[in-house]
A and B are shown apart, each in its own frame.
Chain A
Amino acid sequence: MADRDDTAAAGDLGPVTTLATPIRLDFEFTPGVAQSRFLRGLERGRFIGQRCPKCGMVYVPSRGSCPTDGVPTTEDVELANVGTVTTYCVVNVPFAGQSIEIPYICAQVLLDGANISFMGLIQEIPADQIRMGMRVEAVWVDPDRLTPSLASVRYFRPNGEPDADYESFKEYL
């Protein structure tokens, strides 16, 4: 109907088929009060979680509420530097924003004392030797490079303890 003779005739460039519309927007971001406490803990080389006053579960990080009760989590709980790999995958695919050489292990780590796992990088072990239940410890960046960010945790590595029993973490899969 439209892209015919008269419009294309004017030049040999051919019809316009795409339009570049770059979009750049700037924001001031805050993660909120509760998550900031977690992040400030990372800056000190510590994992700080928060306990729900109703169900007693410990969230790390807490976004400020207990996701099941909908009430504020207020009691800070310092967690261990060690935990258990509940499940994992091996990342073999390059993608934009990736900063680690593939293949590498991406695991759900359940810190001792927490009731929720979070995703962490596992190193110092070949990718084919990772196991569900493996005990791991956090390796932090040098003290002078600690920041309020998960980048302060370089990675987790096996700490040599015997694997956790499947029954002990199967509720967290």
Chain B
Amino acid sequence: MAERCAVIGVGQTHHKAKRDDVSIAGLVREAAKMALADADLTWTDIDAVVIGKAPDMFEGNMMPELYLAPALGAVGKPMFRVHTAGSVGGSTALVAAHLISSGIHKRVLTVAYEKQSDSDAMWALSVPQPFAAPLLAGAGGYFAPHIRAYMRRSGAPEYIGRMVAVKDRRNAMRNPYAHLHIADIDMKMVEESMMLWDPLRYLEACPSSDGAAAMVLSSEDALSGQYPPAWIHGMAMRSEPTMFAGRDQVNPRAGRDCSADVYAQAGITDPRRQIDVAEVYVPFSWYEPMWLENLGFCDLGDGWKLTESGATAFDGDIPWNTSGGVLSSNPIGASGMLRFLEVAMQVRGQAGEHQIGGARVALGQAYGGGSQFFSMWVVGSDKP
């Protein structure tokens, strides 16, 4: 039987378009040292380090666990590197958690980061390969057609995306670490922002950020730190192929299966009622209603109605992305881990101005690739 595992320390950088005040090591150490301090630990207390990030080409530093080992106090320890595309921050946390739940280690430091400003995210994500199709759409252009498919299927009115964009940016005003702080954001500002990939407007898309996230995970007999632990109640990963006949990219089965697995572990039968707060990977506004359905918070086709009703807003009954989410900070490799970290903060009661009062059970989700890699965890304030 698996051992219990909890989050006992969290740390993150101030996310910015360009963190030109630090090196790569400086960036990851900022988050890692904050997580250690939160857990009242030092480097020597850590048994193993697990890092994750998106393609090495962002920084032009191949297999960076080698260069970063001493910067993360990993000398003499096991050090591990995960890469599962956009979901990587989430899967990195899960690999770290399994090192505890398997009984192998007592305390594991996990770190995810991206220093995108060393190069250019658009370039690194779509390095042109010989014989490939001419570059037609860019990053958002991959997802925009699926958003249109969702609108067609669900009959959602076009302003739903703008509502999400406004809601998450307003939430970001409560989060001092968020990249985007747009004080006067409203529906009109989003509507008047440039149309990038119709139906997606500029303010409905995520920024490109430098940033890092870190957590200290612990076994039950090694708890420490100033805040109560966030216990892991369930964790799962699922993948499906990028392209195949009849693939549903709007509501991918890998996401549905992943949530079913994680809910079963956590004893969740009614996510909307049982989950107090969620941080879900929403890089483009419309992915909120899409993932509401995929994650079983409502029936198929009703996701947009939930968004419209205000249920996912800060004062709604199932607040989503109170940190501002990926729409407000997007250091790609760390974006998934930030979702996992933010829900741990919620159930530990340390989320400050974006804390949801009384949050006891929370869901973190990350996805990547062409909506094909999913990682999720459910954390709670009660010991499972």
A12 CA to B148 CA, complexed, in Å: 56
A127 CA to B144 CA, complexed, in Å: 15
Distance in angstroms from A146 CB to nearest chain B CB is: 14
- Whether the pair B140, A116 counts as a contact (CB closer than 8 A) is no
Which of B138, B194, B244, B245 is packed against the most chain A CB atoms within 10 Å?
B245
- Whether the pair A93, B138 counts as a contact (CB closer than 8 A) is yes
Q: Mark A68-101, 1 if CB is under 8 A from B, else 0.
A: 1000000000000000001111111101111110
Q: A91-B136, A106-B137, A173-B248 are in contact. Are A21 and B60 (CB under 8 A)?
A: yes
- Whether the pair B197, A89 counts as a contact (CB closer than 8 A) is yes
Distance in angstroms from B114 CB to nearest chain A CB is: 17
A99 CA to B138 CA, complexed, in Å: 12
User: Which residues of chain B are near A92, meaning CB under 8 Å?
Assistant: 194-198
Residues from 118 to 167 in B contacting A, C-beta threshold 8 Å = 120, 122-123, 126, 128-138, 140-141, 144-149, 152-153
Q: Name B153's closest neighbour in chain A (CB-CB).
A: A173
Residues from 181 to 239 in B contacting A, C-beta threshold 8 Å = 194-200
- Whether the pair B197, A91 counts as a contact (CB closer than 8 A) is yes
Contacting residue for B122 out of A55, A96, A100, A132, CB 8 A: A96
- Whether the pair A99, B243 counts as a contact (CB closer than 8 A) is no
Distance in angstroms from B218 CB to nearest chain A CB is: 31
SS of B interface (majority): loop
A170 CA to B141 CA, complexed, in Å: 20
A173 CA to B250 CA, complexed, in Å: 7
A149 CA to B129 CA, complexed, in Å: 11
Which of B137, B145, B149, B197 is packed against the most chain A CB atoms within 10 Å?
B145
Q: A89-B137, A92-B194, A173-B249 are in contact. Are A97 and B128 (CB under 8 A)?
A: yes
Q: Is B20 an interface residue (CB 8 A)?
A: yes
Distance in angstroms from A35 CB to nearest chain B CB is: 7
- Whether the pair A67, B122 counts as a contact (CB closer than 8 A) is no
- Whether the pair B130, A67 counts as a contact (CB closer than 8 A) is no
User: Which residues of chain A are near B134, meaning CB under 8 Å?
Assistant: 99, 121, 150-151
- Whether the pair A173, B149 counts as a contact (CB closer than 8 A) is yes
Q: Is A171 an interface residue (CB 8 A)?
A: yes
- Whether the pair A172, B241 counts as a contact (CB closer than 8 A) is no
- Whether the pair A91, B141 counts as a contact (CB closer than 8 A) is yes
Q: Is B242 an interface residue (CB 8 A)?
A: yes
Q: Is A31 an interface residue (CB 8 A)?
A: yes
Distance in angstroms from B252 CB to nearest chain A CB is: 12
A96 CA to B137 CA, complexed, in Å: 11
Which of B134, B140, B194, B249 is packed against the most chain A CB atoms within 10 Å?
B134
Interface size class of B (residues with CB under 8 A): 35 or more
Distance in angstroms from B152 CB to nearest chain A CB is: 6
A66 CA to B138 CA, complexed, in Å: 26
Q: Is B246 an interface residue (CB 8 A)?
A: yes
- Whether the pair A97, B135 counts as a contact (CB closer than 8 A) is yes
Q: Name A173's closest neighbour in chain B (CB-CB).
A: B149
A149 CA to B126 CA, complexed, in Å: 17
Q: Name A68's closest neighbour in chain B (CB-CB).
A: B244
User: Which residues of chain A are near B152, meaning CB under 8 Å?
Assistant: 87, 132, 166, 173
User: Which residues of chain A are near B245, meaning CB under 8 Å?
Assistant: 55, 57-59, 68, 115-116, 172
Q: Name B135's closest neighbour in chain A (CB-CB).
A: A97
Q: Name B144's closest neighbour in chain A (CB-CB).
A: A89
- Whether the pair B20, A93 counts as a contact (CB closer than 8 A) is no
User: Which residues of chain A are near B200, meaning CB under 8 Å?
Assistant: 89
User: Which residues of chain B are near A116, meaning CB under 8 Å?
Assistant: 243-245
Q: A116-B243, A132-B148 are in contact. Are A35 and B197 (CB under 8 A)?
A: no
Closest 7 CB pairs of A and B: A89-B144, A90-B198, A115-B245, A67-B241, A57-B245, A173-B149, A87-B145
| A residues lining the B interface (CB < 8 Å) | 17-18, 21, 23, 29, 31, 35, 39, 55, 57-59, 66-68, 86-93, 95-100, 103, 106-108, 115-116, 118-121, 127, 132, 148-151, 166, 170-173
| A-B contact list, 13 entries, CB within 8 Å | A55-B245, A67-B243, A88-B148, A96-B123, A97-B123, A99-B135, A107-B145, A108-B145, A132-B149, A150-B133, A150-B134, A173-B149, A173-B249
Q: A90-B195, A132-B148, A150-B131 are in contact. List 15 more A-B contacts (CB 8 A).
A: A35-B131, A57-B245, A86-B145, A86-B149, A88-B145, A89-B137, A91-B141, A93-B140, A97-B123, A99-B135, A115-B246, A127-B198, A132-B152, A173-B153, A173-B249
